[in-house]
């Protein structure tokens, strides 16, 4: 991010994300990292953060916008 390179973070298999984790994800997203969710819970987490550019990837590898 600092060097102008894209950073992609894939969230998968999380059972719990506490407030510190949500804060970290929010800061990463606001800094330009592309957050991708795989699964229902991680998709919910990204939607609740209300970040632009967050994406959801389903089991078949299809990507959709998480903020739709």
Whether pTM exceeds 0.85: no
pLDDT band at 52 (very low <50, low <70, confident <90, very high): low
List pLDDT tens digits, range 9-29.
Answer: 999 988 999 999 999 999 999
The rounded distance, in Å, linking the Cα atoms of 63 and 31 is: 21
Strands (E), 1-68: 8-12, 34-38, 55-57, 63-65
Q: Running DSSP on this structure, what letter comes out for residue 41?
A: H
pLDDT number for residue 19: 94
| Interval 39-64 mean pLDDT | 72
């Amino acid at each position: 991010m600092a060097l102008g390179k894209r950073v992609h973070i894939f969230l998968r298999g999380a059972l719990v994300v506490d407030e510190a984790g949500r804060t970290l994800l929010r800061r990463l997203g606001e800094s330009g990292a592309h957050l991708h969710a795989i699964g229902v819970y991680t998709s919910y987490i990204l939607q609740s953060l209300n970040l632009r550019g967050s994406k959801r990837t389903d089991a078949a590898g299809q990507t959709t916008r998480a903020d739709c």
